[in-house]
Structure 1
């Protein structure tokens, strides 16, 4: 037992059961003691339904206290709870059982030895007053049973592990030894991974015994004990998924995992059928296919253009997301039908595309026909390898030209000018001189044989002319090679910005010697003049190439992604290692921890770019567009436009006007003869009928039935009045009967737009009469959705960042550093730490060259 305070529990029996109250005490927590009490009651043959729930009371100090951990059904024969239901008191008038025999026996026994005879007694527990006359019970001691619920978590897991599929409520001594042996067996990777996984899943620690039994056996079913030992991460993934899955779906989850399908959930349709998702399909194995991703595929399949369905063009994907968001037709109807199809997630992407693109374009108007078409044509045998027929029906075009054509068509649909699709004679395509790109000369030209033409570079230097943009000037680096190596192997690095040309730096990798020494002086002009004047046609511009391994040295123009993927430990990695080596491993080695972006981080990057590299603002950030004057911004502006439009329309006939015309027409019709409530009234109406309708012969009896038949026959010849009740459309239908010309004139009038509904409804209404209208919401949505990998920046954020930039540049110290003519930005250094021998790298935000002394600085926000 543990060292906690003892708990004394009582379960009072219900009067109708005829059972005795049960008590138990043990040095454990309430849950464990309660589980032990329930187990002992069931073992004794009692039923828990005959008892009330267990209640903890104050611990009684009396001679009749039962042994720890043993059930007592007689304690309540002598003691009862006081009025506070917490304190035990002796029942008045009840004689307590005699304990003299036990006391006398204890006087002669000390440490298991009879002091009178000197006999060493066997280790057993005496139970005076409850002796058994059975020889078998006297010789065979009762087995020691431990309730599994009272054991630590690791032992509870192992108890169910050794149960061989049987739920173990308690374990005996031999089973407990086996549990301890497995716990200490560090060579058994299977068991150790199971224990570690259980301790790392929070839901497992809170699970009840029944769930532990279920999940342990599920693990053994998915990962056979005699098979390959599963990885710890895989076991943890399954345990988390199992506890997050509804109870009714856990059986299906185990089956999918046992088949090798590592599904994260059992997805169901709205009707409750299994939506599938466990089979291997033609999609990327790491791609999690859900009903939401199915919607995107459905939307893409409804688009008219052909493209590579496995390498989706970005424009097609964005358009599909827009269709899903706005629930456009026919996507909406296809989605509703396919989402209701059992096992829909098991089908390949090619099958979905082929199904939709092979259907009649009008099927989606008829849900019944659409569902019948799906049931008849959605068939596939190999979900992972679609047939050529399916790919052809899906209009899968893996060629690059198809992707470009899809992008061109979408660009034209967005209103952009696309050569070959847009009309160049359209007045909206205004050609200006600024649209022609200006070509700038290269500053460093490779003329072959290891010779580089730097005449253009020297023309902008401080000794040969005026510097056009001193803020972005950086020194040209020429790497020196040993005399015995070829010049063709040298690497030339151009600084970032290349003296204001804005071109990216180009580096030719040195294949023979990676160790470089940087030269900050001007490039020597002693090279042959003829070699500097090689014709332009013979020059071959080297392709951008960076070494896989950076030798110690100084490098300019290294792209950000290349630097962060290069060898060497950065300051960020050192900081993460100081936090925790596990954190360092997860973030930089396993890469399971991804650096998340935040508004604060984005703001810092924005200030950083404006202060150091303002020319990169457009390439890295997407600034919120300005709302043009006259654009619709709020619901009020939409309603104001609709009200003005409706006021300009000719007035339509109201329902009351139409009703008055119908009533006026009905008033001109002859009235029908009443049938009469009596024979006399009926006869009076009959006498008023024209002679041709008085068909009863004179001299015969004029019965009411015969006369009413004649009246009805007459009334049937009269024109029927039109209806004067119902909606305006119903009244218009009646008016069309008597005055079709008036109704035709009314139909020619434009209907007023609705001024009620959501903002999206109002926008559509305005578009119907003003297609060229500009809406602020659409501009902002397009800006947010078409980021092209850039960071979104609002106008307010940009204004704040520009104010910070202005303050930095006007600062007496910081401004001089940021605008220094010999500054360089984002220069990379690679080296080896002398104390540890580790490769290190550093990249100061700003570097100043002070006569051969380089000073690095960081800009912090």
Structure 2
């Protein structure tokens, strides 16, 4: 195959253009020969050099070709490239100098006329890449055709591989099928849209981002192209233009009071409507977690009146451009139960939502916006004034004071006992929770002393499942409407002073509005953990709260080092769920006993001790049944009953036998009394007639009782002749059954011994684990206690674990300086010694079979393979630790040795560099949405040094 190249010289160099050609099997080999030939000729190509990059052209078929493989500088004097930049044409020679002046003037006139009418090329006839570039250089104008200068500029841009912006645009266009099929007008529009979204003089867009935008542009309706371009240019990478349920544009394009960066959707609008319907005062820009949870529940269950409000507002044109304040005001000023009349409801919304109303920025106080029809009869008592917004402690104090006052009045007046509401409104947003607390199963009738204290968030464990309070990754955020990636975005931003909301107040109002059953409340306020943790230090966070909080943990960084695909599946898409393993439970048990033994019962459920005397096996149950049956009064046996029946039958007159022959029947007939011998003397005594007389006689005799059958059947026969004896027998206790399954035998024992304790029932109740704790067997607890004793007895480990200034399981939240991603860490132990901050992690290992000489190398391998050094570096960076130690303890039974290892400066530096690399990869994944697999390229497996030595040895054998 022939390859012909032209190497054009730059204007500044003043050199001549060159050509070269040769024959090669493949293009790759041709490129290699080209590089060698140009290097031999001393020609350097590229930016800043005398020559541009070589361009391959069509092979010319002429007689004066240069020699193959030689660089020729005279070719371009005879030939020139056509407009397609691929075909070679012969240059036109200069006119003969002997032409007269008239001819020259005519020629000059013709040339000037041709120059006034340049040769134009229709853009639609150009190759696809050049069609795209033609619209790119049009500066916003649609180009139907281009002239020679514009064509040269197009070719230059196409060949300029150093212009990343142009090359990414062309590659993206070729990878979007709709783009390749587009007409010229659409190409003009989409290219200009790209230039608006990604300015040429700005940051060069990534190829994946360009492809994503182009696909969205072609998938979007023509009428929505302007909205799509506007949102992307503003940095809001929307995946589609939002429309109401009726099809109108939902986004008016206005910046609302939610902020310019907030991405408001119809889903977040539903949450705002649900929050506005709740009868509680709160800052609508910093919605408490309890309010948000209740709002999500309303949306999920599609409760009324939310359902009616949502149906109407979701169909309002431009509803996403309405301020959040206006949405709250609209819902709060609506007449009571207006949702029951759809026509009136729609009319109210249309008349109220004016341009001035929609731009409202001042929230109406709840007691002013609340319709008068919703007011409840209030006692004539002094009502404490309150602000529009108050802190948790202030609201709690008012509720308690009002409750105490009302209870004192009721006790003095001794009112009649009447059915009362669980939660009563006493005005101005204050609610009396006395009835709820008195009816609680937790409190009974006991009246606890009313106290008010500033309870720290870290000192109280909530009675709710707080792990589900925050919006998890993938849920819609009320604040931004975007998906949260591994907790990077919080659904509601809360200030520390507003992180605690009156849980009783919010929960009771929710009950009253939705008619749900009351829950047991505590005298002490249940802590509400914030949905978003600001950077800082937090003590006492429960495990489920920390693991569900925002920020990337060291475990997630380690998963990213496995591969970004695994990180995405486990922490972003959440398609991989990691099950709890027994090994992990054992490690947690050792951690609990060594670090926080006082909190062991909160997380672990220990196997119960089987009390002495409990029934543990079938044999013990059978032994009890046999012993019980032996203690009962003796009952009549079957043989005894038969003997009584046979004795009775013996006292009865015997039946006359019918006989087996005529003679025997005649003898039996003659033994009958005379009144039963009814055959006349003159009649023949046949056997049938005699048997009839015998049967008649036998029928007059008393019937004998049956002596065959089971005990119950024999007792029935005995009751006929001796009912008193049978009645006495029935009054005797019946013996227990000794056959059946183990469960049947257990029920048999319980019928006579309800207080009996069975080991199976104790263990089954323990295994059911309704609290969801970690189950710990007695053997595991014994091993963990032995490990605890070994740790506390060790001179260094014991000092660290029992140091008076130690802090255990402290949570730190912060930001990664390089990527800006949120991070969180939780070292097992930290100690502050005269300004030197020391951190430590407790690790359980199993190395019973490792020789002593190889233990240190094995422990180092353990640290590297499990990325312990990466976690240590992350801890030191985020928690500002100066030194870090690992406390390794061998967990094999009765072999609990301990190793204290300090992380060296080089080891921490290695961990920090690997941590930075992983964080950059995670940030790139979030930016591009691409999570590559661990292996993406094909490769050839090569022999390592050991295999190579084996290969050489076998070759020589």
Shorter-chain TM-score tier? 0.3 to 0.5
Over alpha carbons, which structure has the higher Rg?
Answer: 2
TM-score, normalised with respect to structure 2: 0.35
